[in-house]
Amino acid sequence: MNALYLAYAYLRFHWARSLVLVVVAALILFVPVATQILLSTSQTALVARGETTPLLLGSRGSQLDLTMAALYFSDERPAPIAMKEVETLWDSGLAMPIPVHTAFSSGGFRIVGTTLDYFDFRDLDFSEGRGLSLLGDAVIGADVAQQLGKRVGDSLVSSPENLFDLDGVYPLEMPIVGVLAPTNTPDDQAIFVDIKTAWVIQGIGHGHEDVVTAADIAAGTDALANAAVVQFQRITPENIESFHFHGSQNSFPATAVIVVPNDQRSGTILRGRYLDSDNPSQLIEPAGVIQGLVDRIFRIKSLLDGVTAIIAVAAIAAVGLAVFLSYRLRAREIATAVKLGARRGMVLRLLAAETVTLLFLSGCIAAIGAALISQNAETWVGWLLSLGA
């Protein structure tokens, strides 16, 4: 106890030097632990999204692009798939298809056209407002609401992907009717609308002023529509009846279709139906695609571990050198203590007590930091992944 008291008194007297040693040692302990926590959480978060999505149907092409666009709402633009594939899945009675349309954005966030089944499938709850009920309604994720400062009663305006993508694409003002509770998933970064609303944005459906007037009917003349006809850019109760779609819905596009089989047998049957490489559609397992991506990304993890170990050894050596030099500088002090009657064992216990106290304080700081990282890792990783999307 005497050694600990003397060590504490010495460290307090030389507080600046002691503080530097404590901070450096804490960083040496904290950085490798924090890195492992964040890497592990990132890996889990990436794979979890794929594991909760049984199957994904899309046009044949890059499986990774299809998965990233449909699950993470990224900027990838896979070839669209026709809605007739959704009807085919319904008719098979083997699965529930959930189409997603992710071609447009608003305020830097992806507009996801889908059906009400998506909200049940992802188990999404509302923190404010209600779900989609009318053409043109929008439900926003928690991050969208926070970063854009939007809430129920406000509105958003859609935008094309680029300035050269204006053919048939009209900005649509969408009233916000609901805000989703935070999920720490890409859903927090999405604006959800009914898939028919996405088709309106794309120009497949629209509403406009009535071309045929009462005067035309009375005169018995035909009215010709032209570019001067005003197309509505906001869907209201007064004009919603005028909105209509041209062509067959079976030919309308979707980015992908989330396929939820009734059981394992149904999933196996469906996968077998899309094995033909000549089929323009492909049915993939997102979990396998994401796991392959994660495996490639985390191949450098061993390299990072090696670099971290080398840095840690160098830092520990530097701290050891600092402590050793500190003891050398105290040689006259130690010699005086010996002349006053202190035994060498007592001197060694004093120096050991100082070292143990420094390491204990450093360990406590590192443990607190690691606990904070672990507690907020999912939130931070979700934010980082959203930036990547």
- 186-203: pLDDT as tens digits: 899 999 999 999 999 888
Average pLDDT over residues 319-343: 71
CA-based torsion, 33, 34, 39, 42: positive or negative = positive
Q: Which residue, among 99, 98, 94, 97, has the nearest Cα to 269 in the 3D structure?
A: 94
The pTM (predicted TM-score) of the whole model is 0.72
Q: What percent of the chain has pLDDT above 70? A: 83
What residues contact residue 157 under an 8 Å CB cut-off, 6+ apart?
A: 106, 171, 172, 173, 174
* pLDDT value of position 4: 74
Q: Are 189 and 109 in contact (CB under 8 A)?
A: yes
Q: How far is CA 337 from the centre of its chain?
A: 62
The single residue listed with the structure tokens 């120096």 is 351
* pLDDT value of position 38: 81
Q: Parallel, antiparallel, or unpaired: how do β-strands 190-194 and 205-206 relate?
A: unpaired
Copy the structure tokens of residue 251: 């030919």
* pLDDT value of position 386: 58
Residue 167, pLDDT > 80, answer no
